[in-house]
Amino acid sequence: MISRRHLLGGSAALGACVALPALAQSQPLRIGMLTVKSGALAAGGRQMEDGFRLFLKERGERIAGRAVEFVVADTGGQPALAKTRAQELVQRSNVHVVVGPTAAFEALAINDYLQEAAVPFLCCSAAAEDLTQRRLNPWFVRTSSTSAQPCHPLGEYTARDLGYKKVITIADDFAFGQEQTAGFQRTFEAAGGTVIRKLWAPLNVADYGSYISQIGDTDAVFAAFAGANGLRFLRQYAEYGLKQKIPVVGAMTTVDEGVLHSMGDEAVGIVSAGWYSAALTGEANQRFVSELRKQTGVDPGFYSAGAYSAGLALEAALTSIGGKAEDKEALIAALRKVEVGNDPRGPWRLDNYGNPVQNIYIRKTERSDGRLVNTVVKTYENVSQFWTYKPESFLAAPVYSRNEPTKL
């Protein structure tokens, strides 16, 4: 016999089950962002936050019908602190998704934890190769690129279109700089060029003089720097009188718009490659650039665009599942199927490994309307993280590093 108490209890439980989805929808969508607010990478960290906040502002602080609670955590650019901040976002703030971080070494430091915690990890900047290659995390999706993805076309372009035969490389001595250099070297040498020397500078170095003094007898220099390091290197390179003698080709962030506004003639004429340029003429980009310029006074670049893209991807995924972020499995499954057509950088889709297949633009830094811009001179369409190689053969080789693909 069922007592009235049990009957009422059962009815209440049934009502609670019915009400759960509605209750979840009435709760805020909690998004945590890991970024850097101090040190060499701080400029990029601030721009990441600017890009995502613009996305939220345009949507009235709501995504897929849900109000957004946006929590920003400063990692200080330190792997150990990045992990602590990730744990705080998950365990204390109970975020539905983590966006960020800024640097590759930070992403590597928190990847295992977020996988174990089964939290969707929407990476909008950190470009560590293996996170979408040999160390796959089913909870990880990237909206920027791998480190080497833009450098593969640049290496080929440098040899075939620019005709350079010998190149010396210089880069930040951490995963991002190492992987960018390796990707450039692989395709530059495959196209007939030779990397004759590799120079590595600590991330927080202030004076590049000892490295610049080792540059000579080369057709060009490939430079791969993040944050404000590109500004410091190019300025000192010009001061040492090398700009007019040996041209520089750069990785995307070396002349990123986030620091380009602080540069002068030292940046003019530099050829670089990236998945974004503020000079792109599409309507979505013109609107994006205009709004961020009003907000920050400068053009957006790598970090702002990647974070804005993360917002677009999250919006598309949540809309497809009715905003139910509490269903983490459904959310990450939807994120991994995302195709974005209204991105300022142009359309992109994710490959089977969670990394964008997208246009890569060869850019030349020029003056226009009183400011420096990265004018697009050539477009490589639908570029994969594996370039023209089959994924199986690409992944059978060691991950790009200081000493791979060759030991110079």
Q: What are phi and psi of 290, to 5 degrees?
A: -60, -45
CA torsion angle 404 351 305 303 (round to 10): -30
Average pLDDT, the chain: 93
Q: What is the pLDDT of residues 156-179, one digit of tens each?
A: 999 999 999 999 999 999 999 999
| Band (407; pLDDT cuts 50, 70, 90) | low
339 membership: H or E segment, kind and range: strand 339-340
pLDDT of residue 329: 98
Spatial distance between the Cα atoms of 188 and 193, rounded to a whole number of angstroms: 5
Give the integer Cα–Cα distance in Å for 16 and 258. 49
Average pLDDT over residues 64-71: 98
70-106 pLDDT, tens per residue?
999 999 999 999 999 999 999 999 999 999 999 988 9
Provide the pLDDT for residue 282: 95
Query: pLDDT digits over 323-369, tens only?
Result: 999 999 999 999 999 999 999 999 999 999 999 999 999 999 999 98
Q: Which of 77, 3, 56, 63 is nearest to 227 (CA)?
A: 77
Lowest mean pLDDT among 32-46, 123-137, 371-385: 32-46
Q: Which residues of 197-220 are buried (b: 16+ CB within 10 A; e: fewer)?
A: bbbbbebebeebeebbeebeebbb
Q: How far apart are CA 286 and CA 342, in angstroms?
A: 12
Predicted confidence at residue 26, as pLDDT, reads 72
Q: Which long-range contacts (CB under 8 A, 24 or more apart) does 115-118 make?
A: 115/139, 115/140, 117/90, 118/328
Tell me: the pLDDT tens digits for 12-44? 444 444 444 554 557 999 999 999 998 878 888
- Label residue 217 by pLDDT band (50, 70, 90): very high
What H or E segment, with its residue span, contains residue 269? none
pTM: 0.92
Q: Which residue has the tokens 């006074």?
A: 297
Residue type, position 270, single letter: I
Instruction: Please report the pLDDT score of residue 161 as a whole number.
Output: 98
What SS3 class is residue 139?
coil
354, 126 Cβ separation under 8 angstroms: no
Q: pLDDT per residue over 184-212, tens digit each? A: 999 999 999 999 999 999 988 989 999 99
In the chain the domains, ranked by start, together with CATH numbers, are 23-146+283-357 (3.40.50.2300), 151-280+359-396 (3.40.50.2300)
